[in-house]
Amino acid sequence: MRIYFLGIAGTAMGNAALLLRALGHEVLGCDQAIYPPMSTLLQEAGVEIMEGYGVERLQKLAPDLVVVGNAYSRGNVEVEFLLESRAIEYVSLPEVLRRFVLSKRNNIVVTGTHGKTTTTSIAAYLLEQRGAEPGYMIGGAPLDPERGWAVGKDGGAFVIEGDEYDSAFFDKRSKFIHYQPRVVILNNLEFDHADIFRDLQDVKRTFSHLLRLVPQNGFVLVNGDDENALSLTGLDFTTVYQVGTAHDADLRIENYETTQNGSRFDLVWQGKAWASIEWGMTGLFNARNAAMASLAAALSSGGAVLDFDLASLGRYRGVKRRQQVRFESGSLTVIEDFGHHATAVRDTLVAFKARFLGRRIVAAFEPRSNTSRLEIMRGATIEALRESSVAMIGAVKARNSSGVQLMDTESLAVDLRAKGVDASAYLSNEELLRDLRRKVGEGDDPQLVVFFTNGSFGGIIDAFVAELGL
């Protein structure tokens, strides 16, 4: 089948295109912004990528199926053609995955407000290390496994990141509703995606719909330390296991401690020691990601949980842009992190304070996502950034801001200064970069610079790192 991706250069769409190509389909597509790393991966695989949009071109290509990315809506010329002509079948990305891949697999669907990409990659990595030939699709660029997708074997486990965001402009259900789960990981639950959810109850509603799809012989793995997640798990139709630090958790995380090179912790399954882990990831939240992934992988393997070997976790290298060290020399370390929700930013900074004792922590935060840029996140953002010594707040992204109150970053900086943080707000990324150069040059104390963004921060991360490397 010839399958055309409208928006092929996005991480999820690009990985899906490569996955379907490996299944024997001809894939091609277009996008407005085409840039590495996904463009490089697609081109190396021989996938044709076209820039921009055009009805005549689409007609000449004559695909059998068009996959419409959820960034596209009415007004796009190719979308309008599909709707008017009805000449070519079109589907959302989650639907094409369900149709061609997930309907034939035992699916591990990794959900939660935070940690989905890391947890998905850990589960896929553990199953690969065991020789289980899993399939997977990861919404990022993992270091382990070495790519973001794999076909896996027919009938085997398939690990997929379960996003609660909507599927397409014509399908407002959450993506994960399409994913036919056998195992669901519910890692944490907070209000997010303010552009499509009204409040926390609205978020809970869509997660409850997913849990209804878990079969009797399936499993729900829930964060036993998260009241919001626990509120959804009074289920009588499938098996629920709690994972966390609580004494009554089925899989308990014990003896967590931060180390100079990461962290260590013990896993105890139903009262019996399972494994002691020492690895390069930092933060109790990452230990929980590992515990969730480990239990999901073990349950999907069919044997006794305690027989599933976790030794390879010590070699796990993580995911690009998740606590990724971009520069390290002497008294300066620079890290890039995908954190954008206030809770993720706070937890990461707390973990770094323990790991990088004595360092002045400079946090550069870009309020870019549809939730992090809102005034309703002010209190949570203050609690997050007060964990830093210096807070540098980028310009709020004002796109599609009709009907919402954007965060006043100038007054946010004032509030942070009142709490003892050296905080500044900037109208441009270039201004922030100039000030960052100055602040890093101040004093002799060792420093940690952390960039938090779910975008590119206007290219200033790469520019700053490049300057340091000269």
Query: pLDDT tens-digit profile of 90-119?
Result: 999 999 999 999 998 999 999 998 889 999
- Least confident range of 243-252, 309-318, 347-356: 347-356
The distance from CA 198 to its chain's CA centroid, rounded to whole angstroms, is 21
What is the DSSP secondary-structure string of 233-268?
---SSSEEEEEESSTT-SEEEEEEEEETTEEEEEEE
Q: Which residues form the domain of 340?
A: 324-468
- Give the pLDDT band (50/70/90) at residue 369: confident
Q: Whole-angstrom Cα distance, residue 53 to residue 176?
A: 28
Residue 422's pLDDT is what? 93
Residues 332 and 437 in one domain: yes
Domain edge (last residue) among 54, 72, 93: 93
Instruction: Please give the residue that has the higher pLDDT: either 364 or 443.
Output: 364
Distance CA 142, CA 228 (A): 29
pTM for the structure as a whole: 0.85
The predicted-structure confidence for 330-342, as pLDDT tens digits, reads as follows 789 999 988 878 8
| Amino acid identity, position 324 | Q
Same domain for 309 and 328, yes or no, is no
State yes or no: pLDDT of 237 exceeds 90: yes
- pLDDT for res 358: 84
pLDDT band at 306 (very low <50, low <70, confident <90, very high): very high
Q: Which of 77, 93, 109 is the last residue of a domain?
A: 93
Burial of 390-422, coded b for 16+ CB within 10 Å and e otherwise, reads: bbbbbbbbeeeeeeeeebebeebbebbeeeebe
Q: In terms of domains, do 69 and 109 share one?
A: no
Both 294 and 339 in a single domain? no
- In the beta sheet, which residues pair with residue 425? 393
Q: How many domains does the chain have?
A: 3
pLDDT band with cut points at 50, 70 and 90 for residue 403: low
**pLDDT confidence of residue 172:** 93
Q: What angle, 0 to 180 degrees and rounded to 10, lies between the N-to-C axes of helices 284-301 and 116-129? A: 40
- What's the pLDDT score for residue 338? 83
pLDDT band, residue 399 (cuts 50/70/90):
low
Q: Looking at the predicted structure, is the pLDDT value of residue 150 above 90?
A: yes
SS3 of residue 123 by DSSP: helix
pLDDT at 308: 96
The CATH number given to whatever domain includes residue 332 is 3.90.190.20
pLDDT score for 437:
92
Same domain, 106 and 76: no
Residues 75 and 162 in one domain: no
361 and 287 co-located in one domain: no
Same domain, 393 and 416: yes
Same domain assignment for residues 247 and 341: no
pLDDT recorded at residue 199: 86
Task: Based on the fold, state whether residues 81 and 130 are members of the same structural domain.
Answer: no
Domain end residue (candidates: 93, 116, 149): 93
How big, in percent rounded to 5, are the helix, strand and coil portions of the chain? 35, 25, 40
Q: Do 152 and 297 belong together in one domain?
A: yes
- Over residues 258-266, mean pLDDT: 91
157 by Cβ neighbours in 10 Å (0-12 / 13-18 / 19+) ranks as buried
Kindly state whether residues 36 and 6 are assigned to the same domain. Answer: yes
Please compute the mean of the pLDDT values over residues 268-285 and round it to a whole number: 94
Query: Tens of pLDDT along 18-62?
Result: 999 999 999 999 998 777 777 888 888 889 999 999 999 999 999
- The backbone torsions φ and ψ at residue 142, rounded to the nearest 5 degrees and listed phi first, read -75, 150
Kindly tell me if the per-residue pLDDT of 439 is higher than 60: yes
Q: Write the CA distances from 407 to 339, 385, 455, integer angstroms.
A: 17, 14, 18
Tell me the average pLDDT of the chain.
91
Contact between 394 and 429 under an 8 Å Cβ cutoff? The reply is yes
In percent, how much of the chain has pLDDT > 90? Answer: 68
55-61 long-range contacts (CB < 8 A, ≥24 apart) are: 55/81, 58/4, 58/88, 59/87, 61/2, 61/4, 61/28
In Å, what is the CA distance from 469 to each residue of 32, 334, 436? 31, 11, 16
Predicted pLDDT of residue 470: 56
Residue 74 is predicted with a pLDDT of 93
Q: What is the CATH number for 297?
A: 3.40.1190.10
pLDDT over threshold 60, residue 392:
yes
The confidence band for 401, taking pLDDT boundaries of 50, 70 and 90, is low
